[in-house]
Amino acid sequence: MLMIRLLVLLVGLLTLFSHPTSAWAGTKYEEGLKQLADGVAEGAAKVKKQRLAFLDLIDGKGESTPMGQFLAEELGTQIMVAGELTVVDRTLAYSTLKKLHVDHIDSAHAKTLQQAAKAMRADLFVDGVILDTPDGLQVTLRLISPSNAQPIRAIRGMLPKAGPLNVFFKKEETPQPIMNINSPKEAPTPVGLGTYRNEYYEMVIRSIELQANRAKVDLTIENLSRRDLKLLCRLQETLLKDEQGTAWHQGVGDNREGLCTHGIELSPRRKERAVLTFTGSSETAATQFTLHFSETLPRRDASFVIDGLKIGSPSESTLTTP
């Protein structure tokens, strides 16, 4: 009997330690996120509010960060999945507050906040602060009444630094020098139809294929930074314009796993291929396009234009930035 008990205990320990750390961290993250979202839902229910507008969470210095933007998106999604409350589209919330010159919520902006809430039909605003502690990330959320810009409830929880948030804590590594052992020089990579480059990534338009009323843009994205990178764009605002000025838009059905719906994640110095599909008029005899790219990650509300993109005729194109 004793041997059987020892065997059962041993099997239990092996089972416990066989689970990867990443899976455990992911579970802890999901649990913590759900607790925060449940706290928000409970607070909104107590004051009988239905429609929430999430703002970017800030750090201890009062600054918005990519992690704060990510968590605001995650919390809003968690609330919507529960189905009890509605959430204002964050693009609408951000553009409305920006238009009214509101960069943070306090009593000094009470009247302006009322205008913003009316414009986006929000019953409550949700903001918060993320503090880095030895035990993990301490997240404090506030439910704020648009009528007086005062918090009416606070929710606090902990999230692990691992799991989905691990990407925001990876340290930069010094690249190791590459030894040249008299290897033959490779031919330079073709420029393609057009190129855009910033401190985070390089985008190269490889080709544009036109089929009836659809234009498929084949491109590559290379992470130029030393950190993991996620590139995400806006579906409706990222578009093509042909030489007649006709706009070609993206549809959700053609871009379910695209840059503007799912995004692309790249490790440092990694390059990946992506395809954007645009729909336009079948009556337009387009031969040249301009790509208007509207970004949400890694640079919020950044945009750029690559023009001179000719179908089936690779050539360097000019680049303009707004």
Tokens representing 314?
């690779």
pLDDT in tens, 223-255: 998 888 899 999 889 999 988 888 999 988 888
- Is the pLDDT score of 269 beyond 90? no
224 and 286 in a single domain? The answer is yes
Q: Which pLDDT score is estimated for 171?
A: 56
- Of 166, 185, 207, which residue is a domain's last? 166
Q: How many domains does the chain have?
A: 2
212 and 124 in a single domain? The answer is no
Are residues 241 and 186 in contact, defined by beta-carbon separation less than 8 angstroms? no
Residue 185 inside a domain? The answer is: no
Q: Which pLDDT score is estimated for 261?
A: 84
Q: Which residues of 156-173 are buried (b: 16+ CB within 10 A; e: fewer)?
A: ebebbbbbbbebbeeeee
- Is the pLDDT score of 88 beyond 50? yes
235 and 158 in a single domain? The answer is no
- Is the pLDDT score of 292 beyond 90? yes
Q: Which pLDDT score is estimated for 104?
A: 72
Q: Which pLDDT score is estimated for 34?
A: 92
Q: Which pLDDT score is estimated for 253?
A: 81
Q: Which pLDDT score is estimated for 26?
A: 57
Residue 291 belongs to what domain range?
Answer: 194-320
| Percent of the chain residues past pLDDT 70, beyond the cut | 81
Phi, psi (deg, nearest 5) at residue 224: -90, -10
| Distance between CA atoms of residues 291 and 306, nearest Å | 5
Please give the span between the terminal C-alpha atoms of the chain, in angstroms, as a whole number: 77
Are residues 205 and 195 in contact, defined by beta-carbon separation less than 8 angstroms? yes
| Distance between CA atoms of residues 13 and 287, nearest Å | 65
pLDDT in tens, 121-145: 999 999 999 999 998 999 999 999 9
Q: Which pLDDT score is estimated for 178?
A: 55
- Is the pLDDT score of 166 beyond 90? no
How far is it between the farthest Cα atoms of the chain? 85
34 and 149 in a single domain? The answer is yes
pLDDT in tens, 17-73: 444 444 555 578 889 999 999 999 999 999 999 999 998 899 888 888 888 888 988
- 111 exposed, middle or buried (CB, 10 Å; 0-12, 13-18, 19+)? exposed
Q: Could you tell me the CATH number of the domain that includes residue 257? A: 2.60.40.1240
- 63 exposed, middle or buried (CB, 10 Å; 0-12, 13-18, 19+)? exposed
Residue 311 inside a domain? The answer is: yes
> Following DSSP, what letter does each residue of 42-82 receive, concatenated?
HHHHHTT--EEEEPPPB-TTS-B-HHHHHHHHHHHHHHHHH
Q: Which pLDDT score is estimated for 322?
A: 41
Tokens representing 112?
């302006």
Q: Which pLDDT score is estimated for 98?
A: 82
Read off the pLDDT of each residue in 291-319 and give the average, rounded to a whole number: 78
Are residues 25 and 40 in contact, defined by beta-carbon separation less than 8 angstroms? no
pTM for the model stands at: 0.49
pLDDT in tens, 97-122: 888 887 777 777 788 889 989 999 99
Residue 173 inside a domain? The answer is: no
Q: Could you tell me the CATH number of the domain that includes residue 142? A: 3.40.50.10610
Give the relative orientation of helices 21-46 and 66-82 as an angle to the nearest 10 degrees.
70
206 and 151 in a single domain? The answer is no
| Distance between CA atoms of residues 279 and 265, nearest Å | 25
Tokens representing 150?
């005062």
Residue 143 inside a domain? The answer is: yes
Residue predicted with more confidence, 286 or 135: 135
pLDDT in tens, 172-227: 444 555 555 454 444 444 467 899 999 999 999 999 988 888 889 999 999 998 88
208 and 127 in a single domain? The answer is no
